[in-house]
Structure formats: structure tokens, C-alpha cells
């Protein structure tokens, strides 16, 4: 599978996420590193994103992500609380990549404490590669449902990873 490539026009017209909510029932407390990654992903996602539900006019959107019965749920509303659409995706296509990403993240966080800079860099390169693969799978799963750019998909994959704790 190839790495996602930057979009030719990252500022393409369309919708934008103005808030992202992780369903509290779907997540558990995680390590400080994972909590930090989650917070940074949400912040970065809100700051810059391309997010457009297919078949709906551009707007400012609020996304609630949750895991219900081992399915990933994207509940989308406008910023004035009007329901737009809810998409329910099987987690099966993402399960292996999330597991792989979890293992490499654990190695990375451990390496930060004890490894040499070159070892940390090598593990981080692998971590980014697995993250790119997860982002590509997520984009494929959202195709025809929600249009996102590569950076938005990367940040969303980080949040899907955060939800895996109870998923």
C-alpha cells in the first residue's frame, strides 16, 4: 500500500471541523503519551482540516467519534447543532493496523526513555509509516461518505487509535 501523498490543493473549498468530541463511554484513560497525542490531534484537527460530508453543503461541523458494538461511529452535526449524518464503519479493516501502530508506539515511547537518538529516529520512521498506512485505510473507508484531505485523515486516525482502548 502506498503512503498518502499531500493534496495538490489543501485549502480546497468545503466544510471544516470546528469541534471534535470523543465519546467518553468509548475511551478509557491511557498513558500520558497517548493522552498527549490525543489532545494534540484534536487541537491540530480543529486548527486545520478539510472535512466535507458527501451530499451536504459546506458548513462548520462538529464530529463526535465513538465506538459502539465494535463499530466506529462518525456522528456529524453543524455548529448550530443540526444533525447532518451518522456513518457507522466496521473496525475490522482497521484492527490490524491499529494493533501494529499500538505496538510500534509502545516501542517508541520506551525508546524515548532509553535509546540513542538514531534508534529513536528509526522507530519513529516506522511509526510514521504505519500511521500513514492507517490514514490511507481510513480515507478508503470514508470514500463516498466524507471527503477529507491527507492531514485530516492522519489526525482522525490518531483519534481512532485513541478509541481502540475500549473498541
Handedness of CA 29, 48, 56, 134 (dihedral sign): negative
pLDDT tens for 55-102 read: 999 999 999 999 998 899 999 999 999 999 999 999 999 999 999 999
Q: Which helix (H) or strand (E) holds 73?
A: strand 71-78
pLDDT of 127: 94
pLDDT of 133: 97
> Is residue 165's pLDDT more than 60?
no
Boundaries of every domain in the chain: 16-163
Q: Quick count: other Cβ atoms within 10 Å of Cβ 106?
A: 13
> Is residue 155's pLDDT more than 50?
yes
pLDDT of 13: 55
Give the whole-number percent of the chain exceeding pLDDT 90.
Answer: 71
pLDDT of 70: 87
Give the model's confidence band at 32: pLDDT under 50 very low, under 70 low, under 90 confident, else very high: confident
Distances (CA, A) of 63 to 48, 76, 82, 116: 14, 5, 12, 39
pTM reported for the whole predicted model? 0.85
> Is residue 130's pLDDT more than 80?
yes
Helix (H, G, I), strand (E, B) or coil at 22: strand
> Is residue 5's pLDDT more than 70?
no
Residue 2 grid coordinates: 502506498
Amino acid at each position: 500500500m502506498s503512503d498518502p501523498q499531500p493534496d495538490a490543493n489543501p485549502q480546497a473549498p468545503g466544510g471544516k471541523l470546528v469541534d471534535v468530541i470523543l465519546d467518553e463511554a468509548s475511551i478509557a484513560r491511557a498513558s500520558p503519551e497517548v493522552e498527549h497525542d490525543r489532545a494534540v490531534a484534536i487541537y491540530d484537527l480543529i486548527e486545520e482540516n478539510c472535512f466535507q460530508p458527501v451530499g451536504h453543503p459546506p458548513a462548520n461541523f462538529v464530529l463526535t467519534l465513538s465506538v459502539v458494538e465494535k463499530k466506529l461511529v462518525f456522528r456529524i452535526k453543524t455548529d448550530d447543532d443540526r444533525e447532518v449524518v451518522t456513518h457507522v464503519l466496521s473496525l475490522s479493516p482497521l484492527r490490524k493496523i491499529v494493533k501494529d501502530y499500538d505496538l510500534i508506539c509502545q516501542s517508541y515511547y520506551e525508546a524515548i526513555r532509553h535509546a540513542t537518538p538514531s534508534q529513536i529516529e528509526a522507530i519513529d520512521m516506522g511509526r510514521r509509516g504505519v500511521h500513514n498506512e492507517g490514514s490511507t485505510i481510513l480515507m478508503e473507508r470514508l470514500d463516498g461518505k466524507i471527503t477529507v484531505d491527507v492531514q485530516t485523515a492522519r489526525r482522525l486516525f490518531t483519534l481512532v487509535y485513541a478509541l481502540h482502548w475500549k473498541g
